[in-house]
Amino acid sequence: AQKVTQAQTEISVVEKEDVTLDCVYETRDTTYYLFWYKQPPSGELVFLIRRNSFDEQNEISGRYSWNFQKSTSSFNFTITASQVVDSAVYFCALSEAIQGAQKLVFGQGTRLTINP
């Protein structure tokens, strides 16, 4: 069965520190997609990134970067020079194709607090 584990339940850092959120997944599929979502206090989940299983290139977008390592089934997310606005719950998710749609299996989330 598909499974996503985010071992860090809560992380608290001081503004401008770098922080890495861990994500480990389990799947038997050879083709799959991994995602990160951000959930601010307002509630909606905001899409951050999608990575397919054949592309192990790391990605950087501004202060955000993602490290995908298939050998260790990990897809970690790093925020550089964190800001208070980065405070949110972050979810890692793994896709599973179903009839004409897709099912996302989510980790339990990591609550990130950036203190001024």
Footprint on this chain of another protein (rule: CB under 8 A): 4, 33, 35, 37, 42-47, 50, 52, 91, 93, 95, 97-109
8 vs 80 by CB, closer to another protein = 8
Shortest Cβ distance from residue 81 to another protein (Å)?
26
CB of 111 to another protein, least distance (A): 10
Angle at the Cα of 57 (from 61 to 81), degrees rounded to 5? 30
Which of 68, 72, 47, 46 lies closest to 59 in space, CA to CA?
A: 68
Closer residue to another protein in complex, CB, 19/93: 93
Distance in Å, CB of 101 to another protein, minimum:
4
Alpha carbon of 71 to those of 24, 34, 59, 65, 102: distances in Å?
11, 15, 17, 19, 24
